[in-house]
């Protein structure tokens, strides 16, 4: 019995204690870059909830060329998104996949992006069934574009309509910027919603 518990304890310690500790250290390091180079942005980040702060760091840090090397910025962005996902963010895997598709991270590419979208889809299934608005939004965006799931624009728009009134300004911006300014996402013809 002790032999069976040993590997499980090691795995648990690595995934639930060591990795989050490493991600937090990377994020803290990135926050020192931000505070040094853009103190106003650091103050804005401090006003966000922990998950929203991690999401924003993860999706914007790769493009902050003056902070650090591309390799360091990529690593810190990945750590922020991994930690956000670990803490329950419905958006982290979506942003991670988008950065990979767009070449915003060192380890970019279509296949690695699809892996992140598939992980995101798997994570969101239960919270979508519970009716969580943010989960439904990011599930709907992946459903619309075929990220980690077969594309179904009509179903995605129905999901957006269902949660639109519950979304905050930031999530509304994510939705509208993807649907109205991006060739990847599809608005079904003659749909009055958009």
**Tens digits of residue pLDDT in 16-61:** 778 889 999 999 999 999 999 889 999 999 999 999 999 999 999 9
User: Is residue 108 within 8 Å of 101, Cβ to Cβ?
Assistant: yes
Instruction: Measure the CA dihedral 193/170/26/19, to 10°.
Output: -50
* Whether pLDDT at 138 is above 90: yes
The 10s digit of each residue's pLDDT in 90-132 is 999 999 999 999 888 887 778 899 999 999 999 999 999 999 9
Give the span between the Cα atoms of 117 and 120, in whole angstroms.
5
Three-class SS of residue 184? coil
Look at residues 124, 179, 133, 125 and name the one whose alpha carbon lies nearest to residue 153: 179
| Sequential DSSP letters for 112-176 | HHHHHHHHHHHHHHHHHHTT-HHHHHHHHHHHHHTSSS---HHHHHHHHHHHGGG--HHHHHHHH
Q: What is the mean pLDDT of the chain?
A: 89
The 10s digit of each residue's pLDDT in 179-191 is 888 788 988 877 7
Give the count of beta carbons closer than 10 Å to the beta carbon of residue 166.
13
The 10s digit of each residue's pLDDT in 50-71 is 999 999 999 999 888 877 888 9
Three-class SS of residue 23? helix
Is the entire prediction scored with pTM above 0.75? yes
């Amino acid at each position: 019995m002790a032999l069976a518990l040993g590997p499980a304890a090691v795995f648990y310690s690595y995934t639930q204690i060591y990795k989050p500790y490493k991600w937090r250290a990377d994020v803290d390091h990135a926050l020192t870059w931000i505070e040094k180079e853009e103190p106003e942005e650091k103050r804005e980040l401090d006003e966000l909830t922990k998950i929203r702060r991690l999401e924003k760091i993860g999706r914007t840090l790769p493009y902050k060329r003056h902070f650090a090397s591309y390799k360091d910025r990529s690593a810190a962005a990945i750590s922020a998104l991994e930690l956000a996902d670990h803490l329950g963010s419905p958006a982290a895997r979506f942003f991670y996949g988008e950065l990979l598709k767009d070449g915003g991270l060192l380890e970019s590419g279509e296949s690695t992006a699809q892996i992140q979208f598939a992980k995101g889809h798997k994570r969101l299934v239960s919270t979508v069934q519970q009716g969580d608005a943010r989960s439904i939004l990011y599930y709907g965006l992946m459903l619309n574009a075929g990220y980690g799931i077969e594309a179904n624009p009509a179903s995605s728009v129905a999901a957006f309509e269902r949660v639109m009134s519950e979304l905050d300004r930031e999530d509304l911006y994510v939705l509208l910027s993807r649907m109205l300014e991006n060739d990847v996402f599809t608005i079904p013809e003659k749909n009055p919603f958009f």
